[in-house]
Structure 1
Amino acid sequence: MSFTYDEVGATRRAGHCPPGFRPLHVRTRIGEGEAVFRRAAEAVRTWEMHRALGVGVTAGAERAEEGVEVTITLGGVIKAPCKVVWTVDEPRRAGWAYGTLPGHPECGEEAFVVERTGDGTVWLTVNAFSRPARWYARAGGAAARGLQHAYARRCGKVLRDLCER
C-alpha cells in the first residue's frame, strides 16, 4: 500500500510540519539513567507502550522496523493502518515513525522517540503532523484534535509507568 501523503519521513526533522497539516509535539519526562533509557526504548520499539495504552496492535513484525505495516485499533472499532517509515537506534536515541495508509482516519505521520539527554534525563517525544482523512475525523473537529494531544500525553504517562515497574 502507498502512503496517503507526500512528505514521507518528514517527522525526522524536528519542528517541520508540511503545509496543510496540523503539527503535534508532546515531550514527557520518563525518568533518569541508562537503565530507564533501555527499558523505555525497548517498550517503544516492541509495541509494548502502545499495547499498554489499551489500543489494539496488529503488526507484521515483533519490533518496529522500516517497512513494517501495523494497524492500530481504537475502541475495537476504528482501524488505523500505517507503515513504519523510519527508525533510529543510537546510544542515546531510539524510536520510530509511522505514516498513514489508505483507510486511516487521519492523513500524516507520527514519531515516538526516546532520548537520554546529557544530564541523564530520559524523555519521550511524540512528534506528528496530520489532517483529517475520513468524514468522522473531519466532523470531530477540535474534539478530535484534543484526543490526539491526550493520546500523545498518555503515551508518556504509560511509558513512565512501564519504566517504574
Structure 2
Amino acid sequence: MTPDRERRLRALTPTVDAALRPGDGAPAGFASVRRSRLLPPGLDLDTAAERLLHWRLQRGVGRGADPSSERIEEGTVVDLRIGVGPLALIAPCRVVEVLDEPGRRGFVYVTLPGHPVAGVESFGLTAEGDRVRLTIAAVSRPGSLLTRVAGPLGRLGQALVATAYLHALDDPA
C-alpha cells in the first residue's frame, strides 16, 4: 500500500459504528453471518494465529489484500480485492481490535467508505483442548448500489466467503 493511500484510508470514518461487534447480534437493517470449524489436528493456536494475523484468510480465498502492515495490528488499514481484473471491487477496511489472550486470538475489522457492504467482521481462534476453533462472524448491510440491487445474492456471497475462510489456515504454504 502506498503511503498516500494509507493516509487517505486512515482519514476515513467507518461506514458503521466501530464499536459494533458481530457477537452482539444484528441491529435492525443488518444481516449476520457466523461460521465456525475445528481446525485440523496438529494445527496449534500459535501457528494458526500467525497465519491469521498475516492476512492468510483473505489471501487464501483468492482475495487480494494490500495492507498498511503485513502483520495485523489495531489501526491497520487494508484494501481487499474482491474479484479479478477490471471488474474487481476494492473493499477498504480498518482493524479496530486485536485479541491476544491466553487461549484466544483474533481480530475485528470495520468497513470503510468504498466497501460494497457496511459492517464489521470478526475472525477468532479459540483453543479447545488440543484443537483450535476458527470462528468468522459478521454483521452488515448493503453499502453500495450494487449490493443493494444484489439483495439476497449479496448476502449469499458473503456467507460463501465466510465458509471459504474456514479452510484458509489449513495449508502451511
Q: TM-score, structure 1 length as denominator?
A: 0.89
1:75 and 1:22 map into 2 onto residues whose CA distance is 22
* Residues 56 and 168, structure 2, Cα contact 8 Å, conserved in 1: no
RMSD: 1.6
Per-residue deviation at 1:16? 2.5
2:122 to 86, 111, 114: 111
1:129 and 1:142 map into 2 onto residues whose CA distance is 14
Give 5+ residue unaligned stretches, structure 2. 1-11
Per-residue deviation at 1:56? 0.6
* Residues 10 and 17, structure 1, Cα contact 8 Å, conserved in 2: no
Give 5+ residue unaligned stretches, structure 1. none
Aligned residue identity for 1:125: T
Question: What is the CA deviation profile of residues 47-105 of structure 1, one whole-angstrom value per residue up to 9, with x for unaligned ones?
Answer: 12221211110101111111111110011311100100101012211110110111110
Share of identical aligned residues, percent?
A: 34
1:83 to 82, 94, 97: 94
Aligned residue identity for 1:109: V
1:68 and 2:76 are equivalent in the alignment: yes
Aligned residue for 2:149, secondary structure, equals: helix
1:162 to 131, 146, 171: 171
- Stretches of 4+ moved more than 4 A in 1? none
1:38 and 2:46 are equivalent in the alignment: yes
Paired positions, count? 159
Aligned residue identity for 1:25: R
Per-residue deviation at 1:15? 4.3
Residue 24 of structure 1 corresponds to which residue in structure 2?
33
Aligned residue identity for 1:95: G
* Residues 57 and 71, structure 1, Cα contact 8 Å, conserved in 2: yes
1:18 and 1:112 map into 2 onto residues whose CA distance is 19
1:140 and 1:49 map into 2 onto residues whose CA distance is 24
Per-residue deviation at 1:5? 1.0
Residue 120 of structure 1 corresponds to which residue in structure 2?
130
Aligned residue for 1:153, secondary structure, equals: helix
* Residues 61 and 68, structure 1, Cα contact 8 Å, conserved in 2: yes
Residue 149 of structure 1 corresponds to which residue in structure 2?
159
Per-residue deviation at 1:121? 2.3
* Residues 31 and 123, structure 1, Cα contact 8 Å, conserved in 2: no
